[in-house]
Chains A and B, each alone.
Chain A
Amino acid sequence: MCLAVPGAITRIIDASTAEVDMLGATRNISLRLVPEARVGDFVLVHAGFGIQIIDPEEARETIELIREMDELVAEELPAPDGATA
């Protein structure tokens, strides 16, 4: 139920409504919860409302962090039970 699908804003219709492209489907959403959203922004859409602008830069940083996480903290952890360190 808390499913939210990303959509790209293609047109601002009025102060609280925008047209979005969601994987090829076009529909209108309310911008009431994301009043700062602009054309070109990617927004998470839930129950007809944009609920957050997605930051592609954050996405790239998360992937980098995940790739590096292994090396970053491996030494800080205690060895598994029965394993030799």
Chain B
Amino acid sequence: MSASPNRMPRTADFAAFRDPDLARELIARINALVADRVIYLMEVCGTHTVSIGRYGFRSVMPEGLHLLSGPGCPVCVTANRDIDRAIALARLDGVIIATFGDMMRVPGSSTSLIAEKAAGRDIRVVYSPLDALDIAAQNPAREVVFISVGFETTTPAMAACVLEAAERGLSNFSLFCANKATPAALRAIEDDPQTRIDGFLLPGHVSTITGAAPYRFLVDEFSTPGVITGFEPVDILAGIEMLARMVISGAPDIKNAYPRGAHREGNTVAQRLCAEVFEPCDALWRGLGELPASGLRLREAYAAFDASRRFDIEVEPTVEPRGCRCGDVLRGRIAPGECPLFDRGCTPEHPIGPCMVSSEGSCAASFRFKDR
């Protein structure tokens, strides 16, 4: 199979999404459009949180246009109880833990995975869950548990991984699944009387998988508009402008400003794989509490790959960090700088709450970009 020259995509096709002139034009348009209105928009994607901070968009928005960060960081919304469970699994004899790098420093009730690693537990950071399968193949006498967190973007990779483990006959591989579905969090934010949201910047790469349909309830039940948004500066500004237009005209809809990466129907192959391997379950979210059908567990047919069913673990009593207001930050009730611990005891070097640990956490982004 060879590439014909006209099929080779050029990076220039995407350069316009970083065009500073177009970005400046959009900023001017947003300012003229919003004028002195008060509008609250929320992004629910950690990658958006970082982009908005990096490009300093808050400082160039109209005074009344507020950009809030919601529960968009999978590490941050993982409940302490689940961190403690992961740590309990790491303490089992003969177990190798594999996980994403972001999980390592998140404090549980009394320790973290990185502290456990320092204490001699076998905990390995991987880029892809497929790397964990290779570790399992190389260590047939050991049990390999992948600690899985993530939203819809990541869940299909986990489903494919379980199917591949079954195909390769890797009976020493299992998954601890704390994956979550984002629409449940949007509903929890909408139901919160303390938070006013006029529109949502919807996560581009979650939508790559799910398509637009799961967000329809925002319009149908809450009359709140949403725009599926990409990650380059022009993507984000266009998403903000489209949202502001719908808020002002009072015509809410779910629009797609990222059609190059997210199709209306999503990735149906990925959706099928997820449905084959996982079923919805209730899940505990930091800050949002227990949300119905917002988590995923392995179906009975794949129970052999479910670490929760496979291992009997003793989990320490849950202790929440004192004074930490990550829960309120995740709900958009307060800005990171309004937490009494922010930069006063809680910093990226010495994080107390998960929103300061993860590079995509609202507090870490706010700290790093001095965007408070």
Cα-based distance from A50 to B81 in the complex (angstroms): 32
Say yes or no: is B112 at the interface (Cβ < 8 Å to chain A): no
Please tell me which one of the listed residues A32, A38, A61 contacts residue B259 in the complex, with CB atoms under 8 A apart.
A61
Q: Inside 8 A of B245's CB, which chain A residues have their CB?
A: 73, 77
- Closest chain B residue, CB of each to CB of A74: B33
**Interface SS, A side:** mixed
CB distance from A81 to the nearest CB of B (A): 6
Contact of B8 among A8, A33, A66, A80 (CB under 8 A): A8
1/0 per position for A42-82, CB-CB distance to B under 8 A? 10101111011011101111110011011001001110111
The reply on B170 being an interface residue by CB < 8 A is no
Most chain B CB neighbours (cut-off 10 Å) among A42, A48, A66, A83: A66
Size of the chain B interface, CB-CB below 8 angstroms: 69
A78/B205 in contact, CB under 8 A? no
Query: Among the listed A1, A38, A70, A81, which residue makes an inter-chain contact with B36, where contact means beta carbons less than 8 Å apart?
Result: A81
Max count, chain B CB within 10 A of own CB: residue among A2, A51, A69: A2
Shortest C-beta distance, A85 to chain B (Å), equals 13
- Among A51, A63, A67, A82, the residue within 8 A (CB) of B267 is A51
A59 and B15 CA atoms in complex are apart in Å by 10
Closest residue of A by beta carbon distance from B152: A2
User: A residues touching B (Cβ–Cβ < 8 Å)?
Assistant: 1-4, 6, 8, 10, 12, 30, 32-35, 38-42, 44, 46-49, 51-52, 54-56, 58-63, 66-67, 69-70, 73, 76-78, 80-83
B interface list, Cβ under 8 A from A: 1-4, 7-10, 13-14, 16-17, 22, 26, 29, 33-37, 45-47, 73-75, 100, 102, 127-131, 149-151, 153-154, 156-157, 160, 163-164, 203-206, 208-209, 234, 238, 241-242, 245, 248-249, 257-263, 267, 269-270, 273, 358, 360
Q: A4-B205, A80-B36, A82-B36 known; 12 other A-B pairs, CB under 8 Å?
A: A1-B154, A2-B204, A32-B273, A47-B157, A48-B128, A49-B160, A51-B267, A52-B261, A54-B260, A62-B259, A77-B248, A78-B249
